[in-house]
Amino acid sequence: MDRILRQIWSSLGVGLNMQRMRNSERILERRRKLKMFCPVLTTLRAIDASDLFAVFISNPKRQVPIWRQRSSKDAAGLCVWDYHVICIQRDLKRETAVLVWDLDTSLPCPTTLDDYVAGAFQPWIPLNPEFSRFYRVIAAPMYLRFFASDRRHMKKKDGSWMALPPLYDCLVAEDGAVHNLEEFITMSVDHVITSPEEAISSLLSRA
């Protein structure tokens, strides 16, 4: 379980916000996430790994709008990410069967699915089709086995960081792969889920 928690932390919010923060602001944001993650760790230790899912959010244009994001300068918290990752917790024993963990959100963490969709996706706002959000849902055990990132996507051509990297080590897959992020965030309508409702329905139906 500890490995799951470390990788959830490493992946959440590692996409690049198109509205860049100054370096000092990124440092403060990084510290805030670490402080916020401590109680998250305590809570998630009691959760069965089979009830955790990583959800990658992106699109072919690599520009997805998500509201209520702490790093935003916009009054509504709008950020446009190249991709974003959230953690979904399934709990069929509770009336609220799905919780969302997003360390970048200004919403409570965790929050219910309905509240997260309303606050972060604001589905009543019409989007140009090129900004539509696509979802790739991956069970935590599979995610741990296959996902790898050496954070090369976070570096400029000169090797400097576009944004401060996560605090934990780079993620290496069980087969030794060091970077396959593109396989997870390259999305087309034929291969991914195109609505949050469909994404959640797919994981609730899994054994």
| pLDDT confidence of residue 121 | 95
Q: pLDDT tens across 141-193, in order?
A: 888 788 888 888 888 889 888 877 776 677 788 888 888 888 888 887 776 66
Specify which of 51-60, 62-71, 144-153 reaches the highest per-range mean pLDDT.
62-71
| pLDDT confidence of residue 76 | 92
Q: pLDDT tens across 68-105, in order?
A: 998 888 899 999 999 898 888 887 676 667 889 888 89
Query: Between 120 and 48, where is the model more confident?
Result: 120
- Give CB contacts under 8 A, 24+ apart, made by 168-176: 168/6, 168/7, 168/9, 168/10, 169/10, 170/10, 171/7, 171/10, 171/11, 171/147, 172/148, 173/145, 173/146, 173/147, 173/148, 174/144, 174/145, 174/146, 175/146
Q: pLDDT tens across 102-117, in order?
A: 888 999 988 998 899 9
Q: Mean per-residue pLDDT for 27-53? A: 58
Share above pLDDT 90 across residues of the chain, in percent, rounded to a whole number: 20
Specify which of 6-20, 28-42, 51-65 reaches the highest per-range mean pLDDT.
51-65
Domains of the chain: 2-204 (3.10.620.10)
Query: Between 110 and 197, where is the model more confident?
Result: 110
> Which amino acid is residue 35, in one-letter code?
K
Specify which of 47-61, 82-96, 188-202 reaches the highest per-range mean pLDDT.
47-61
Q: How confident is the model at residue 34 (pLDDT cuts 50, 70, 90)?
A: very low
